[in-house]
A and B are shown apart, each in its own frame.
Chain A
Amino acid sequence: MSMLHTVNKSPFERDSLASCLRLAVNGSAVLLIEDGIYGAMSGTENSAMVKESMEGISFYVLGPDLKARGISEDRVIDGIKVVDYKGFVDLVAEHDSSQAWL
Chain B
Amino acid sequence: MKLSIQINEGPYTHEASTTALNFLKAAVEAGHEIFRVFFYHDGVNNGTRYTKPPQDDRNIVATWSELAEKHNLDLVLCVAAAQRRGIADEGEQQRNGLDGNNIAPGFRISGLGQLIEAGIESERLVVFGD
Residue numbers of A with Cβ under 8 A of B are 6, 8-9, 33-35, 64, 84-86, 88-90, 92-93, 97-100, 102
Query: In the complex, what distance in Å separates the CA atom of A98 from the CA atom of B25?
Result: 18
Which residues on B are within 8 Å of A, measured CB to CB?
Answer: 1, 3, 8, 15-16, 19, 22-23, 25-27, 29-30, 32, 124-130
Q: A64-B22, A92-B3 known; A86 and B29 CB under 8 Å?
A: yes
B71: shortest Cβ distance to chain A, in Å?
Answer: 15
In the complex, what's the smallest C-beta–C-beta distance from A84 to chain B, in angstroms? 8
Question: Which of A64, A86, A93 is B124 in contact with, Cβ under 8 Å?
Answer: A93
In whole angstroms, what is the CA distance A84 to B29 when docked? 13
Cβ–Cβ contact A100 & B126, under 8 A: yes
Q: How many Å lie between the Cα of A66 and that of B40 in the bound state?
A: 27
